[in-house]
Amino acid sequence: MAGAAATAVCASSLLGGASALASPSNPSIELSLAGTYATGVFDASAAEIPAFDVSTDALFVVNAQSGQVDVLDLGSDGVPSYRESLVAAGRLAADGSAVDAGAVVNSVAVSDGLLAVAVEAGDKVQRGWVLFFAADGLGYLGGVRAGSLPDAVALAPNGGYAVVANEGEPADDFGSDPEGSISVISLPRSLQQFSRLTQDSVRTVDFRAYDSGMPLPDGVRVFGPDVPVPDGQEPAGRIARNLEPEYVTIDATGRTAYMSIQEANAVAVVDIRSATLTDLWALELTDWSTDGVLDPSDRDGGITLGNWPVFGVRMPDGLATYRFRGEDLVVSANEGDSREWGDFVDTERAGDLELCDGVFPSDIQANANLGRLDVLTDLGLDEVAGCYSELYALGGRSFSIHTASGEQVFDSAGLFEETVADLISAGELPEEAFNAGHDEQPSFESRSDAKGVEPEGVTIGSIQGRTYAFVGLERIGGVMVFDITDPTRSSFVDYVNNRDFTVDFDGDETDDWKAAGDLGAEGLEFIAKSDSPTGRPLLVVANEVSGTTSVFEITATRGR
Note the pLDDT of residue 509.
72
- Residue 378 placed within a domain: no
Is residue 280 within 8 Å of 268, Cβ to Cβ? yes
How many domains does the chain fold into? 1
Nearest in space to 40 (alpha carbons), one of 521, 548, 537, 515: 548
Note the pLDDT of residue 19.
29
Nearest in space to 87 (alpha carbons), one of 75, 77, 99: 99
Whether the bond between 157 and the residue before it is cis, its omega within 30 degrees of 0, is: no
Structural domain of residue 121, as residue ranges? 8-337+395-556
Note the pLDDT of residue 20.
31
Total residues found in the chain within this entry: 560
Nearest in space to 150 (alpha carbons), one of 171, 163, 165: 165
Residue 113 CA to residue 103 CA, distance in Å, equals 25
Task: Provide φ and ψ at 263, rounded to 5°.
Answer: -65, -25
- Residue 390 placed within a domain: no
Note the pLDDT of residue 24.
52
- Report the CATH number that the domain containing residue 15 is assigned in CATH: 2.130.10.10
Three-state SS for 366-419 is CCCCCCCCEEECCCCEECCCCEECCCEEECCCEEEEEECCCCEEEECCCHHHHH
For residue 354, how many other CB atoms are within 10 A of its CB? 11
Note the pLDDT of residue 559.
55
Tell me, what amino acid is at 292? G
CA distances from 489 to 284, 369, 409, 463, 484 (A): 19, 33, 9, 17, 7
- Residue 355 placed within a domain: no
Residue 133 CA to residue 139 CA, distance in Å, equals 5
Is residue 215 within 8 Å of 207, Cβ to Cβ? no
Residue 288 CA to residue 155 CA, distance in Å, equals 37
Exposed/middle/buried for residue 419 (C-beta within 10 Å: 0-12, 13-18, 19+): buried
- Residue 48 placed within a domain: yes
- Residue 56 placed within a domain: yes
* H helix intervals, 119-226: none
End-to-end CA distance of the chain: 29
Residue 181 CA to residue 441 CA, distance in Å, equals 39
Can you give the pLDDT of all 560 residues of the chain as single tens digits?
A: 233 333 333 333 322 222 233 345 567 899 999 999 999 999 999 999 999 999 999 999 999 999 999 999 999 999 999 999 999 999 999 999 999 999 999 999 999 999 999 999 999 999 999 999 999 999 999 999 999 999 999 999 988 999 999 999 999 999 999 999 999 999 999 999 999 999 999 999 999 999 999 999 999 999 999 999 999 999 999 999 999 999 999 999 999 999 999 999 999 999 999 999 999 999 999 999 999 999 999 999 999 999 999 999 999 999 999 999 999 999 999 999 999 999 999 999 999 999 999 999 999 999 999 999 999 999 999 999 999 999 999 999 999 999 999 999 999 999 999 999 999 999 999 999 999 999 999 999 999 999 999 999 999 999 999 999 999 999 999 999 999 999 999 999 999 999 999 999 998 777 899 999 999 999 999 999 999 999 999 999 999 999 999 999 999 987 55
| DSSP letter, residue 106 | E
Note the pLDDT of residue 151.
99
- Residue 386 placed within a domain: no
| DSSP letter, residue 350 | G
- Residue 502 placed within a domain: yes
Residue 482 CA to residue 471 CA, distance in Å, equals 8
Note the pLDDT of residue 16.
27
- Residue 279 placed within a domain: yes
Note the pLDDT of residue 519.
98
Note the pLDDT of residue 508.
76
